Amino acid sequence: MEKARKAGIKIGIIHADMRNFKTKEKFDFAFCMLGSIAIESNREFLSHSDSVASCLGSGGLYLIDASIGFDWTGLGRERWTVIKNGLTVNVEWEGVPMNLVEQKIIDKVIVEVIEDGKSKTFKTEKVDKIIFPQEFLELVGKNGKFEFLGWYNSFNLAEPLENAKKINKPMSLLRRK
């Protein structure tokens, strides 16, 4: 945010229920970070899609970071650490199967932030639905308000997932009709 402000770029942030929200103005870009589409059913995903579509102008882009279950065999636990400018962030994610028929998991995240020898821990646990790629395309089609532009690896538009040998940080890109 600070970098954008210094560059004279205005960035708006909306804090709302992703499944049902409205905005007063139209935007050119919407971004859902870190697999944070929190839904428990396809109906909730369609409501989310309607909400995003209503806040984007024609031609506006919707970038979804993760959130689509490209590697459904990858449930389990992942850990990683980021160290930058004297700050250490340890992240642990775990997806625990809850209901295989409904594609529901218990999504657990623990984030530990260490700075100047002091540590803070943040924990979240929620029920989530895995959306598989072909299911995602069907839901986008059913919504009817977006054009599917593609799936890409590691935020690299030159690396479509269809050509990827390994999927790493998948993103999905949609354009508002």
Q: Are residues 6 and 55 in the same domain?
A: yes
Question: pTM of the prediction?
Answer: 0.84
How many structural domains are present in the chain? Answer: 2
pLDDT at 145: 98
pLDDT of 12 > 80? The answer is no
* pLDDT computed for residue 1 by the predictor: 78
141 and 60 share a domain? yes
**Residue 169: what pLDDT?**
86
Percentage of the chain lying above the pLDDT 90 cut: 70
Mean pLDDT computed over every residue of the chain:
92
Same domain? 11 vs 49: yes
Q: Is the pLDDT of residue 43 over 90?
A: yes
Q: By C-alpha distance, which of 37, 84, 40, 93 is closest to 63? A: 37
Residues 65 and 77 placed together within one structural domain of the fold: no
80 with 38, same domain?
no
Asked if 18 contacts 55 with a C-beta cutoff of 8 angstroms, the reply is no
- Residue 55 has φ and ψ, to the nearest 5°, of -100, -5
Q: What is the pLDDT of residues 19-28, one digit of tens each?
A: 888 898 999 9
88, 117: one domain: yes
What pLDDT does 165 receive? 85
pLDDT at 124 over 80: yes
Return the pLDDT at 83.
97
Query: Which whole-number Å values give the CA distances from 21 to 29, 60, 144, in the listed order?
Result: 16, 17, 18
Asked if pLDDT for residue 16 goes beyond 90, the answer is no
Are 78 and 58 in a shared domain?
A: no
Q: End of a domain among 111, 128, 145?
A: 128
Question: Could you tell me if 6 and 60 lie in one domain?
Answer: yes
- Residue-range definition of the domain harbouring residue 107: 73-128
Q: Give the per-residue pLDDT at 3.
A: 85
Any idea what the CATH number is for the domain that residue 103 is in? 2.20.25.110
Sign of the C-alpha dihedral computed for residues 33, 144, 135 and 19 taken in this order:
positive
CATH of the domain at 164: 3.40.50.150
Same domain flag for 45 and 64: yes
**Confidence at residue 166, expressed as pLDDT on a 0 to 100 scale:** 86
Residues 172 and 161 in one domain: yes
65 with 135, same domain: the answer is yes
- 148 plus 166 within the same structural domain: yes
pLDDT for 117 equals: 93
pLDDT tens digits, residue range 47-104?
A: 999 999 999 999 999 999 988 888 777 778 889 999 999 999 999 999 999 999 999 9
Higher pLDDT, 60 or 169: 60
